[in-house]
């Protein structure tokens, strides 16, 4: 059971928009910054979003992040087949003094 809750899977057609939710509590998302990672099959995770809504250099603006209260959301527009991957949210938990991940969401581009 992960501290952060994500839907196990989402799907959408190419070119469409999808959102992935991440729910936590005041000890983690509510008072700390959220990051998002993409993990393509058989590869290491890659940072997509940090500080709730910032994109590292090289990440296209099709990817966006937002946070409200104790929840965060990753948005992906203009879906491509290459976006099929696992997506994970992550943040610091001040009560645990530990990093916590969501369980991961598998994105299928139909």
Partner 1 sequence: EVQLVESGGGLVQPGGSLRLSCAASGFTFSSYAMSWVRQAPGKGLEWVSVITGSGDTTYYADSVKGRFTISRDNSKSTLYVQMSSLRAEDTAVYYCAKAPGCSSTSCSRYYMDVWGKGTTVTVSS
Binding site for partner 1 (CB under 8 A): 2, 31-33, 35, 37, 39, 43-47, 50-51, 56, 86, 88, 90-92, 94, 96-104
Secondary structure of residue 15 in the 3-state scheme: coil
Report the alpha-carbon distance of residue 25 to residue 40 in Å, rounded: 28
Using an 8 Å Cβ cutoff, are 54 and 15 in contact? Answer: no
Task: Please report how close the Cβ of residue 41 comes to partner 1 at its closest, in angstroms.
Answer: 12
Identity of the residue, 43 or 81, whose beta carbon is nearer to partner 1 in the bound complex = 43
Q: Min. distance of Cβ 89 from partner 1 in angstroms?
A: 10
Cα separation, 51 vs 65, in Å, equals: 9
Provide the minimum distance between the beta carbon of 46 and partner 1 in the complex, in angstroms, as a whole number: 7
Indicate the Cα dihedral angle 57, 59, 62, 63, nearest 10°. Answer: -100
35 vs 73, which CB is nearer to partner 1?
35
Min dist CB 15 to partner 1, Å, is 28
């Amino acid at each position: 059971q992960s501290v952060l809750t994500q839907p196990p899977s989402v799907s959408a057609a190419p070119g469409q928009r999808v959102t992935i939710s991440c729910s936590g509590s005041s000890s983690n998302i509510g008072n700390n910054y959220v990051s998002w990672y993409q993990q393509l099959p058989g590869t290491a995770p890659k940072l997509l979003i940090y500080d709730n809504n910032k994109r590292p250099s090289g990440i296209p603006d099709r990817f966006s992040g937002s946070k409200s209260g104790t929840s965060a959301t990753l948005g992906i527009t203009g879906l491509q087949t290459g976006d099929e991957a696992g997506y994970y949210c992550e943040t610091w938990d001040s009560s645990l003094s530990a990093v916590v991940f969501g369980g991961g969401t598998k994105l299928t581009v139909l």
